[in-house]
Amino acid sequence: MEFLNQHIIAPTAQHMALLEFLGVVVYAIHLPYIAMVMGATAVAMWLTFSDHEILNPRFARLAGDLIDAVLGSRFPMLVLGVLPLFVLPFIYTQWFVGANGAPLKYIVFAIPGVIVSFVILGLYRGSFAERKSNFHVHMGLGTLGLGALMASYFVLLSTVARLHDPEKWFRLKNLVILLLNWNVIWKFLFFVHLAFAITGAAMLFFLLRWSGERAASDREYAAFVRKFGAGIGLAFSFALPVFYLFYVFTSPDVVFDNTNYLLAASVVFVSMVLAYSFFGALQSREPRFGATTFSLFVLVFVLAGSFDMRAMANANREHARVIEQAAEKAALEREVELETAMAAASGKNLGEETFTKVCMQCHRFEEKLVGPPLSTVLPKYNAESLKAYLLSPVKVDPAYPPMPNPGLTPAQAAAVAAYELQHLAELTGGATAPTETQTTPAEPAAPTH
C-alpha cells in the first residue's frame, strides 16, 4: 500500500466518479461468476455425497453437468475470476489515496486466497471421474477449495463493507476485529444465499437452455434438473430480501442518501421478483424463466454493487473533498508553472520585437544613428535602471537631442531591457567581464531571469 500510495497522483472529482463506476462494473462481472462457482461446487458436492450414500444416477449426472458448466474452462476462470481481482486494489487505493487507516491491506490479503482456491477447485474438477474409487480425496479437495474461496470472499467483502464506517477504522487492528461485525456478517450471508440462488438460475439457464438438446433427449432428466434448479433458486431467493434488509439496517447512517435508499429498495424488490420467477419455473411443465432469472441476478449484482460504491463515497465525503482540493491545487500549480514558462518564452520574443520595431528607428549597437551606439551607453545600466530610463528617458548627453519617450508598457520595457543587456553581453563576450560582474550582483530581481 505504501508503494502504491507513493505512485498515485491525487485523483480529480471526475476521476473518482469514474473509479466508482469501474468498481460497479468489476463487481457486476466478477461476483456473479464467483457466486456460481461457490454454489455449483457446494451443490455438486452434496449431489455426489448423496449418490455415494444411495446410488442415484440422476444426481451423479447433474453433479457432473454442473461442474462442467461452471468450472469447465480456464478462460472464464481467468477473465471473470482472477483478472478483476487485480483491478479492485487499484480502484480502492486510488480512491483512498492519503486516507490513513483505511483497512485496505485486507483486500490484498484475499487475492492469493482466491487464486489458491481456484487451483484446488481445478484439482477437484479433475478428480470427478475417480470420485467412486477416490471418494475422500475428491470430497476433501472440494471442501478445501470451497472453504478457501468462501473465506477469501468473507475477508474481501467485509473489508469493502468496513470502508463504509471510517469512524471505526482505528479499531480494526486485526482481521478478527474486522470480521466480527453484524453488518459484515449479514452482507456475507446475503452473498452466500445469492450464490445458491444464482446456481439454481444457472441450472435453468445453462443446463436446460444452452445444452437444451442434450437435456431434451432425456425428458425425465430435464424435468429433474428444472425442479431441482427452480427449487434451490426458490428456497434461497426467499431469504435474500431478509438478509439484505438486515445488511442495510446495520449499515452506518452516513452511507445513505436518497439514491442509496432507492438502490437498497430495488435490490429487495428484484429479489422478490426472482423468488416469484422461480416459483413460476417450478410450476410450469416446460423449462421457463432461465434467461429471465439469470439476467435478474446480474441486475441484483449491479444494484448491490452500486449501493456499496455509493455507500463508500457517501461515508467518505470528507476524504473525497480533501482529495479533490489537493487535485485542484496541483492543477493550479501546474497552470501557474506553465504560465511563467510561457511568459519567460514570450518575454524574450517581446524584447526582440520591441527592439526591432521601436529602438532600431534611432539606435544600432555599434554605430551612431539618431541616438548613441548602444554598446557605448548600455554598460552603465542594469535591468532595473534601464527599464526605469526607458519608461521615462531623461536628458543625458549634450551631443544628442533628447530621447523621446518611446511609450512602452512596463512589460515591454523590462523585456527590451533584458534583451539588450543580454545582447550586449553576447557581443562583448569576456572582454567586458568586469562591467558584467558589476551589473550582475546589482540585479538579483531581474524580472525575466
When the beta carbons of 83 and 396 are compared against ligand HEC, the nearer one is 396
Least Å distance, CB 363 to ligand HEC, is: 5
Residue placing its CB nearer to ligand HEC in the complex, 313 or 378: 378
- Please, are residues 145 and 194 in contact by the beta-carbon 8 Å criterion? no
User: Can you tell me the distance from the alpha carbon of 323 to that of 436, in angstroms, rounded to the nearest whole number?
Assistant: 49
User: 71 or 403, CB closer to ligand HEC?
Assistant: 403
CB under 8 A, 24+ apart: contacts of 185-191: 186/243, 186/244, 186/246, 186/247, 186/250, 187/157, 187/158, 187/161, 187/247, 188/153, 188/154, 188/157, 188/158, 189/243, 190/240, 190/243, 190/244, 190/247, 190/304, 191/31, 191/35, 191/153, 191/157
Q: Position 80: which residue type?
A: L
Among residue numbers 327 through 386, which ones bind ligand HEC (CB under 6 A)?
Answer: 354, 358-359, 361-363, 370-372, 377-378
Among residues 100, 285, 395, 430, which is the contact residue for ligand HEC, using CB under 6 A? 395
Q: How many residues bind ligand HEC (CB under 6 A)?
A: 24
Minimum Å gap between C-beta 346 and ligand HEC is 17
**407 near ligand HEC, rule: CB under 6 A:** no
Assess 406 for contact with ligand HEC (CB under 6 A).
Answer: yes
Is there a contact between 274 and 237 (Cβ–Cβ < 8 Å)? yes
Smallest separation, CB 418 to ligand HEC (Å) = 11
Q: Candidates 97, 416, 418, 424: give the one binding ligand HEC (CB under 6 A).
A: 416
Stretches 89-97, 313-321, 391-399, 421-429: which one binds ligand HEC (CB under 6 A)?
391-399
Written as nine digits, the cell of 175 is 482481521
Whether 110 and 81 have beta carbons less than 8 Å apart is answered as: no
Cβ 437 to ligand HEC, closest distance in Å?
20
Q: Which of 397, 410, 437, 444 binds ligand HEC (CB under 6 A)?
A: 397
Among residues 57, 404, 407, 430, the one that binds ligand HEC under rule CB under 6 A: 404
Q: How far is the CB of 1 from ligand HEC (least distance, A)?
A: 60
In the bound complex, what is the minimum distance in angstroms from residue 376's beta carbon to ligand HEC?
Answer: 8
Burial 213-230 (b: 16+ CB within 10 A, else e): eebeeeeebbebbbebbb
**Least Cβ distance, residue 360 to ligand HEC (angstroms):** 8
296 near 200, Cβ under 8 Å?
Answer: no
- 85 vs 403, beta carbon nearer ligand HEC: 403
The Cα 313–Cα 53 span in angstroms is: 51
400 forms part of the interface with ligand HEC (CB under 6 A): yes
Residue 314's nearest CA partner among 388, 242, 241, 263 is: 263
Please, what is the minimum distance in Å from the beta carbon of residue 362 to ligand HEC? 3
Task: Check if the beta carbon of residue 369 is closer than 8 Å to that of residue 403.
Answer: no
Tell which one of 102, 383, 403, 421 touches ligand HEC (CB under 6 A).
Answer: 403
Q: Which is nearer to ligand HEC, 121 or 415 (CB)?
A: 415
Grouping H, G, I as helix, E, B as strand and the rest as coil, residue 217 is coil
Tally of residues, the chain:
449
**CB of residue 427 to ligand HEC, shortest distance in Å:** 14
Hey, which bits of 159-227 come out as E strands?
A: none
Pick out residues in 245-274 that bind ligand HEC (CB under 6 A): none
Q: Is 105 left (phi over 0), alpha (psi -120 to 50) or beta?
A: alpha
Look at residues 370, 418, 423 and name the one whose alpha carbon lies nearest to residue 397.
Answer: 370
The DSSP annotation for 263-281 comes to HHHHHHHHHHHHHHHHHHH
Contact string 11-30 vs ligand HEC (x = CB under 6 A): --------------------
CB 396 to ligand HEC: min, Å: 4
Q: Nearer to ligand HEC by C-beta: 329 or 380?
A: 380
Q: Rule CB under 6 A: which residues touch ligand HEC?
A: 354, 358-359, 361-363, 370-372, 377-378, 390, 395-397, 400-404, 406, 408, 416, 420
